[in-house]
Amino acid sequence: MFNKTRMILTGWYLLIIMLLSISFSVVIHKILTQEVVRYAHIQQIRMERRLHIVIADDDLVNEITGRITIALIAINGAIFFISGGLGFVLAGKTLEPIKEMMDEQNRFISDASHELRTPLTSLKTSMEVHLREKSATLESANSLIKESILEVNRLQTLSENLLQIAQYEMSKNVIKPVQVNIKVAIQDALKKTSSLMKSKQIDSINQLIDTPVLGNPYALVDLFVILIDNAVKYSQSGSRVYVKMKVSTKSVAIRVIDEGIGIEKEDLPHIFERFYRSDSARIKNNTGGYGLGLSIAKKIIDEHKGSITVKSNVGRGSEFIVTLPKG
């Protein structure tokens, strides 16, 4: 499809260029022919006055106009081939962002479909097995309902993440940035993750400074909820999570540090990709995530013209460093 569209777009580029080129060539041919005829007529009159005889040399005029025609045809031919090549390259560069966007969209739909299929298949299979079971009891029915609720919760989490991604895809055209106290945003995020911290008996140690940044307050809270939530999920019970800030002249750096399982070196370049989940160590941790959180975080940071870097040691923990420009 891409190649076909590229050829069509190249054809349109070529058609427009050649129409302009031929139009100019016709005008140039007409002007030059008129000038040749006028010059020949003037020379003819001068010669006739000098020699007192009638001189007519239409063959010379026809030869010159013929050469002009051939030269213009050759020039248009060269323009045709050069424009065709350049148009093909330009069409490729024009369509490349669209192709990348479509490829990403198709990959996203494929990955989302795969992730949706897993819990739905699990739900369907469990219910079918239960219906076929002749000796089903109230206890087994309750057990099935509990398992089904867990799968429904997973589906709800996935749908919320997908909606969140869609929201941040279009948020820069909808929400105007305002001045936000980053300390308040982080404190709100800590409140939202406090129940998870309590359930795992994890303490948070925070060093926060009142600092203004320009951005979307709701998005910034979501950003730190994602980072703190990840830090808690991948940490052992009884460990600690640190949130530290360092303010410079033009930016503020926020570090979210955990004492968790860490990330393998080969996984680090991919952790911000959609639906990417780390190696077996994280699967063993049984977090049940979909690999969407960090991709959402990266989208939020990009919209705020910031950056994020990651340091990690397997078995010792990870450190996410978010740098945002001051407001």
CATH number of the domain bearing residue 260: 3.30.565.10
Q: How many domains does the chain have?
A: 2
In a domain, 201, yes or no: yes
Q: Identify whether residues 301 and 180 lie together within a single domain.
A: yes
Mark which of 50, 75, 102 sits at the end of a domain: 102
Print burial letters for 51-68: b (CB count within 10 Å at least 16), e (below 16).
eeeeeeeeeebeebbeeb
| Rounded Cα distance, 203 and 258, in Å | 10
Q: Identify whether residues 97 and 186 lie together within a single domain.
A: no
Q: Identify whether residues 180 and 97 lie together within a single domain.
A: no
Q: Which two tokens stand for residue 179?
A: 């001045």
In a domain, 140, yes or no: no
| CA proximity to 108, closest of 295, 315, 260 | 295
Q: What is the pLDDT of residue 286?
A: 55
Q: What is the pLDDT of residue 294?
A: 87
Q: Identify whether residues 195 and 279 lie together within a single domain.
A: yes
Q: Locate tokens 């929201």: which residue?
A: 167
Q: Which two tokens stand for residue 36?
A: 């040749």
DSSP 269: G
Q: What is the pLDDT of residue 67?
A: 84
Q: What is the pLDDT of residue 187?
A: 93
Angle at CA of residue 135, ends 131 and 141, nearest 5°:
55
Mark which of 102, 126, 147 sits at the end of a domain: 102
Residue 313's DSSP bridge partners are 317
Q: Identify whether residues 183 and 319 lie together within a single domain.
A: yes
| Rounded Cα distance, 179 and 144, in Å | 49
- Rounded average pLDDT per 10-residue block, the chain, 327 residues: 82 88 87 79 70 60 81 88 87 82 72 71 80 77 80 76 70 68 93 89 90 90 91 90 92 93 86 70 54 85 91 90 90
Q: How many CA atoms lie within 13 A of 42 on its CB side?
A: 6
Mark which of 63, 83, 102 sits at the end of a domain: 102
Q: Identify whether residues 315 and 180 lie together within a single domain.
A: yes
Q: Identify whether residues 180 and 263 lie together within a single domain.
A: yes
| Range(s) of the domain holding residue 59 | 2-102
Q: What is the pLDDT of residue 303?
A: 86
| Rounded Cα distance, 124 and 44, in Å | 99
